[in-house]
Chains A and B, each alone.
Chain A
Amino acid sequence: MPKYLLIARDGEEWETFAAQATPADIEACIGRYIEWSERLRSQGKLITSEKLKEGEGRVVRAERGAVRVTDGPHVASKEVIGGFWLFEADSYDDGVELIRDHPHLEWGTLELRQIEEF
């Protein structure tokens, strides 16, 4: 079955939510994400899901024959990849159906990309 990478980017709504979330809000929010992941897992579709470490990273480029490493990427918060899921789906249509009710849509954007396989 084809594999898809689901990339989550947090929007400004996320910052606002996190800034004033009570323990009950936090618990409820985590619960909704986990519920979504668990549904995929119970259908045997979820391969993995991870959170990327925030506020750091390295950008590596070759410049004039030398490898140049810089800290980054420094981009606006809404463009930062927060985390991802790797799962199986029949097609893009099927994948989009699976993420239609994803809780992340309340706070950011989702990008779905198919993994090349031959």
Chain B
Amino acid sequence: MNDRATDHLFRHATAQVVAALTRELGAHRIDLAEEATQDAALKALDVWRFQGVPSNPRGWLYRVARNRALDVLRREANYESKLAQHVEEHATPAARRRGESRDAPPHMRRWTPPAVGEVPFDDAELALIFLCCHPRLSPDARIALTLRLAGGFSVDEIAAAFLAEPATIAQRIVRAKRTLAAVDDRVELTDPTDTAGRLDSVLEALYLLFNEGYDAHSGAQLVRTELCNEAIRMMRLIANDPRTALPHAHALLALMLFQASRLPARVDEEGELVLLADQDRSRWDRALIAEAFHHFDLSTTGERLTSWHVQAAIATAYAKAATWDAIDWKLVLMLYDQLYEVEPTPVVALNRAIALAHVEGPKAGLEAALPLLEHPAMRRYFLLPATLAAFAQQLGAAETATSYYRMALRLPCNDVERRFLEKRLQAVSPGTPLRDIPVADILP
């Protein structure tokens, strides 16, 4: 029970209970679904510590939470009928003729509980993810709400993951719920066209969520594995449901799985960053790679070529090669050319320059990457000067490499990346004092 895996079982069980209840009650009742589930979780805490975990913990939580929600609704209905009676007694004859007092306002309508049968929790969860990633919400709001409701993370945990104030996240979630209650009350995936149309806003949010975990822009932890795992878990639900398993969903899942397969090799025992070239490939997760190839195959069936398709294809080139030197760089370069067509961003151009350097040498790479320094979006991107430094180093220009590494160190990056850059700087220019860089310049 104490290990991380079961810890997630409880979190996921409560999240799925919220999903099933929200589906029954409607989006305007998300708060009630959450509160009732929280009550059930506390009941579980109190009872299970003495009596042990029941054989169907999720069903137990659902039953308790549902009864709790029913109690609240019954009390409301009771109040409502008393109110109606009061209005009836005091209504003017005209209002009585119009029958105004008899019809409760729509938001107070009675809710009749359906009988509890088999609850399709996975289905409810998928529907909840779609609700949380509603296109009317900003990507930030989608991610916060998805993590809170479908992921079962606390506001504090989400705030910590995004280096934001808990109050900011809480506020974002409250606003998002208010928007949802106003725009859409259904928590269903029924209409296939509607589902396909909304899939993109879900995939976009989960892609950002994964990258947030994978790139971890700043802070001590290189990989906030939790966020990556959560994105993958939700993508699996999507890729395994016939209504949502479109080719580009498979492509995105394949991409996430390829990247996640390398997570164990990405930092060494001391927590230091290990470049793809230097990674111990025996530490790559073979099961994830196999799963990634499976979804990559499924992604190649459609008409639409997305950036995720091409990125996943590049990842297959890395995964197929037995060693770093065995990578088919010509293929990788061709794929980056293709990626640049789909996604003409300076970051893609930089990665293309790295592939080019592998095919034609560091000089070609340097020449391709240099113009990117002019790009406004790259001004705070430490990987650009870091890459230029590596090219310069390979060309034997130690002084140029030193100044690029120092430029990189002045840009925002996380602690692990900073130590990596410092090590590189020391290697190319031993004895360079690191501390002469003003602290204010180092901090993002």
Q: Is B213 in the interface zone, CB < 8 Å from A?
A: no
Q: What B residues does A21 contact at CB under 8 A?
A: 42, 45
Contact present for B50 and A26 (CB under 8 Å): no
Chain B, residues 207-233, CB within 8 Å of chain A (1/0): the string is 000000000000000000000000000
Stretch at the interface among B1-9, B129-137, B435-443: B1-9
Asked if A49 meets B50 with Cβ closer than 8 Å, knowing A22-B154, A22-B157, A31-B6, the reply is: yes
Asked if A28 meets B2 with Cβ closer than 8 Å, knowing A18-B42, A22-B157, A23-B14, the reply is: yes
Which one of A23, A33, A34, A54 lies within 8 Å of B10 (CB-CB)?
A: A23
Contact present for A31 and B2 (CB under 8 Å): yes
Q: Is A50 in the interface zone, CB < 8 Å from B?
A: yes
Interface residues of B in 357-389 (CB under 8 A from A): none
Chain B, residues 33-64, CB within 8 Å of chain A (1/0): the string is 00000000110111111111100000000000
Q: What B residues does A34 contact at CB under 8 A?
A: 1, 48-49, 52-53
- For the complex, give the distance between the alpha carbons of A34 and B44 in Å: 13
Asked if A31 meets B51 with Cβ closer than 8 Å, knowing A26-B10, A51-B46, the reply is: no
Q: How far is the CB of A32 from chain B (nearest CB, A)?
A: 7
> Interface majority SS on A: helix, strand, loop or mixed?
helix
Contact present for B14 and A50 (CB under 8 Å): no
Q: How far is the CB of B62 from chain A (nearest CB, A)?
A: 15
Contact present for A82 and B10 (CB under 8 Å): no
Closest to A19 in B: B42
Q: Is B152 in the interface zone, CB < 8 Å from A?
A: yes
Interface residues of B in 278-314 (CB under 8 A from A): none
Q: Is B198 in the interface zone, CB < 8 Å from A?
A: no
Closest to A36 in B: B49
Q: Is B11 in the interface zone, CB < 8 Å from A?
A: yes
Q: What A residues does B1 contact at CB under 8 A?
A: 27-28, 30-31, 34-35
Contact present for B42 and A49 (CB under 8 Å): no
Asked if A37 meets B52 with Cβ closer than 8 Å, knowing A26-B41, A31-B1, A82-B46, the reply is: yes
- For the complex, give the distance between the alpha carbons of A83 and B1 in Å: 20
Closest to A83 in B: B50
Asked if A28 meets B49 with Cβ closer than 8 Å, knowing A18-B42, A23-B14, the reply is: no
Contact present for A29 and B154 (CB under 8 Å): no
Q: What B residues does A32 contact at CB under 8 A?
A: 2
Q: What B residues does A30 contact at CB under 8 A?
A: 1, 10, 44-45, 48-49, 53
Q: How far is the CB of A110 from chain B (nearest CB, A)?
A: 13
- For the complex, give the distance between the alpha carbons of A22 and B157 in Å: 9
Closest to A104 in B: B49
- For the complex, give the distance between the alpha carbons of A26 and B42 in Å: 8
Contact present for A26 and B45 (CB under 8 Å): yes
Q: How far is the CB of B45 from chain A (nearest CB, A)?
A: 5
Q: How far is the CB of B162 from chain A (nearest CB, A)?
A: 17
Chain A, residues 51-92, CB within 8 Å of chain B (1/0): the string is 100100000000000000000000000000011110000000
Interface residues of B in 157-209 (CB under 8 A from A): 157
Contact present for A23 and B49 (CB under 8 Å): no
Contacts A28-B2, A50-B50, A82-B50 given; 17 further ones with Cβ under 8 A? A18-B42, A21-B42, A21-B45, A23-B10, A23-B11, A24-B10, A26-B10, A26-B41, A29-B45, A30-B10, A30-B48, A33-B50, A34-B53, A37-B52, A49-B52, A54-B46, A83-B49
Interface pairs (12), CB distance under 8 Å: A21-B42, A23-B154, A24-B10, A26-B44, A27-B11, A28-B7, A30-B10, A30-B48, A33-B49, A34-B53, A49-B50, A51-B47
Residues on B lying within 8 angstroms of A by beta carbon are: 1-2, 6-7, 9-11, 14, 41-42, 44-53, 152, 154, 156-157
Pairs of residues from A and B, 9 with the lowest C-beta to C-beta distance, nearest first: A31-B1, A83-B50, A33-B49, A51-B50, A27-B10, A23-B11, A31-B2, A22-B154, A26-B45
